Amino acid sequence: MVRGRISRLSVRDVRFPTSLGGHGSDAMHTDPDYSAAYVIIETDAEDGLKGYGITFTLGKGTEVVVCAVNALAHHVLNKNLRDIVNDFRGIYRQLTSDGQLRWIGPEKGVVHLATAAILNALWDLWAKQEGKPLWKLLVDMDPKTLLSCIDFRYISDALTEEEAYEILQKGQAGNKEREVQMLAHGYPAYTTSCAWLGYSDNTLKQLCSVALRDGWTRFKVKVGADLQDDIRRCRLIRDMIGPEKTLMMDANQRWDVPEAVEWVSKLAEFKPLWIEEPTSPDDILGHAAISKALAPLGIGVATGEQCHNRVIFKQLLQANALQFLQIDSCRLGSVNENLSVLLMAQKFGIPVCPHAGGVGLCELVQHLIIFDYISVSASLTNSSCFQD
Ligand SMILES: C[C@H](O)[C@@H](O)[C@@H](O)[C@H](O)C(=O)O
Ligand SMILES: [Mg+2]
């Protein structure tokens, strides 16, 4: 039973000094301090329950996002949680349409990250009040209610509400079995933890052998700063994991389009499943050109961790610009917007492999991807969740 009036919204600037050890480093973010704008929502319901929501940031960026959270807070303060969840599409629309703040978005950048943190906290509170983990709240929700949380504005040319309803109806076949399977075996994952760009070869080797011992079968390596380094590191990791295990590469937006094709062709001998973020996240046609050029080499393009919103995902899908879609629980406008992207990916037949390289993201995306498997895609082919 959803209850209570939102009586308090507070936000904290939480940072971890990960840059000191090169953890999380890549070709563009050489000194990341994993951080979060951490939102806590309280109600007057006197049940002791609070909603916790974050958005992932890097160090100083957190200060700016915290300001934006405070600027948006009035949209939810003093509202009844029941009214919010009964019109979740409306509240999403309200936060993303703030007459003054949308000018510094819209639905992108700092204000959208702040929107995600607030909405993530509301979803957390809703799930807690229902006594369920978020994935189960979503799986148990009837399709009409679920769709009432999504803003279809700007995507109805690619996915109508009726089509989304059909996808969810279809997803109900076999969903109980898939839920049992998830509870028994969990969702497949890959690891990036051995191969951040700032790690020495020795660290890489040591972490890779631990990961192999622990049973990991899919590994992601950072590339893009120096070709000779990439060749050496990819050879090292491929030799250690052998020819059968999966290797992915991540360039974090380092290259121009022709440079991406040329560089990745030189790494093709290491048989990567995908090249992630080869170029600017805004370059839809660039991603399409890279996808086309790399297809004969059997290498797909993955992107999404810095994809602003459902509109860019729509265009990436329409332009055949990606073969692996990486939703982000904190960059998109929370569960509401992620649901629309999961449904579009299903319509276009593209597997979803969430981005989770950051603090708290692994914990959040598992709810979205488990829901996706049980209620939307019903497939584990080419899917995997991130493990940091
Ligand atoms: C700065 C971060 O660690 C990124 O390098 C990370 O999110 C990465 O792109 C990933 O795919 O996990
Ligand atoms: Mg990445």
* Per-residue model confidence as pLDDT tens digits over 318-344: 999 999 999 999 999 999 999 999 999
Q: Which candidate, 336, 348, 346, places its Cα nearest to that of 374? A: 346
The answer to the question of residue 157 being in a domain is no
pLDDT tens for each residue of 6-21: 999 999 999 999 999 9
Give mean pLDDT, residues 291-314. 98
Domain shared by 127 and 201, yes or no: no
Give me ligand 1 centre to Cα 197, in Å. Answer: 10
Ligand 1, atom 11, lies closest to the CA of 357
pLDDT in tens, 191-216: 999 999 999 999 999 999 999 999 99
The closest of 82, 140, 55, 102 to 334, measured between CA atoms, is 55
This complex has an ipTM of 0.98
pLDDT at position 74, please? Answer: 98
| 33 within ligand 1 shell (Cβ under 6 A) | no
Q: Give nearest CA residue, ligand 1 atom 7.
A: 357
CA–centroid distance, 226 to ligand 2, in Å, is 17
Collapsing DSSP states into helix, strand and coil, what is residue 39? strand
The answer to whether residue 381 sits within a structural domain is no
Q: Are residues 110 and 240 in the same domain?
A: no
Statement to judge: residues 358 and 296 lie in one domain: yes
Beta bridge partners of 21: none
How far apart CA 127 and CA 136 sit, in angstroms, is 8
Q: How many other CB atoms are found less than 10 A from the CB of residue 187?
A: 18
Residue 387 reports pLDDT greater than 90: no
**C-alpha to C-alpha distance for 226 and 217, rounded to whole angstroms:** 26
The beta strand positions in the chain, using DSSP E, are 6-15, 34-43, 50-58, 189-191, 218-222, 246-250, 272-276, 300-303, 324-325, 385-387
What six digits make up the tokens of 221?
């390596």
Residues 226 and 331 in one domain: yes
Q: How far is CA 342 from CA 18, 106, 109, 337, in A?
A: 31, 21, 21, 9
Q: Kindly state whether residue 88 falls inside one of the protein's structural domains.
A: yes
Q: Are residues 245 and 103 in the same domain?
A: no
- Please identify, among 131, 159, 182, the residue that sits at the C-terminal boundary of a domain: 131
Tokens of 321: 């610009």
The catalytically annotated residue of 220, 222, 287, 308 is 222
Q: Whose CA is nearest to atom 8 of ligand 1?
A: 357
Q: Do residues 88 and 180 both lie within one domain?
A: no
For the chain, give the percent of residues with pLDDT over 90. 97
Domain with residue 41: its CATH number is 3.30.390.10
Using alpha carbons, select from 281, 280, 318, 276 the residue that is nearest to residue 301: 276
Residue 157 vs residues 54, 103, 150, 161, 163: alpha-carbon distances, Å: 31, 25, 15, 10, 11
Q: Which tens digit of pLDDT belongs to each residue from 136-188?
A: 999 999 999 999 999 999 999 999 999 999 999 999 999 999 999 999 999 99
Q: According to the model, what pLDDT value does residue 218 have?
A: 97
Is 355 known to be catalytic?
A: yes
Residue at 383 is within a domain: no
CB distance 224 to ligand 1 below 6 Å: no
Range of the domain at 257: 170-376
Is residue 47 a part of any domain in this protein?
A: yes
pLDDT tens digit string along 249-300?
999 999 999 999 999 999 999 999 999 999 999 999 999 999 999 999 999 9
Binding site membership of 59 for ligand 1 (Cβ less than 6 Å): no
What pLDDT digit, counting tens, does each position of 116-131 carry?
Answer: 999 999 999 999 999 9
Average pLDDT over residues 85-97: 98
Side-chain half-sphere CA neighbours of 224 within 13 A: 28
Looking at the fold, whether 212 and 335 belong to one and the same domain comes out as yes
CA of 30 to the centre of ligand 1 (A): 11
- CA 8 to ligand 1 center in whole angstroms: 32
Is 328 close to ligand 1, i.e. is its CB under 6 Å away? no
Same domain assignment for residues 174 and 127:
no
Is 76 found in the same domain as 186? Answer: no
Verify whether residue 292 is a known catalytic residue: no
- Of 75, 136, 355, 367, the catalytic one is 355
**Are 15 and 115 found together in one domain?**
yes
**Residue 211: predicted pLDDT:** 97
Q: What percent of the chain has pLDDT over 70?
A: 99
Residues 294 and 185 in one domain: yes
**What does pLDDT average to over the chain?**
97
**Confidence label for 383 from pLDDT (cuts 50, 70 and 90):** confident
Q: Identify the domain boundary among 131, 158, 179.
A: 131
Number of domains observed in the structure of the chain: 2
Please determine, for residue 28, whether its predicted confidence score (pLDDT) is greater than 80.
Answer: yes
The residue length of the chain stands at 388
Based on the fold, state whether residues 285 and 351 are members of the same structural domain: yes
Q: 63 alpha carbon to ligand 1 midpoint, in Å?
A: 20
Domain assignment present for 149: no
Read off the pLDDT band of 388 (50, 70, 90).
low
pLDDT of the residue at 115: 98
Cβ–ligand 1 contact at 198 (below 6 Å): no
Residue 314 maps to which CATH number? 3.20.20.120
- Look at strands 272-276 and 246-250 and give their pairing: parallel
Nearest to 111 by CA among 121, 122, 92, 96: 96
Instruction: Locate the ligand 1 atom nearest the alpha carbon of residue 58 and give its number.
Output: 1
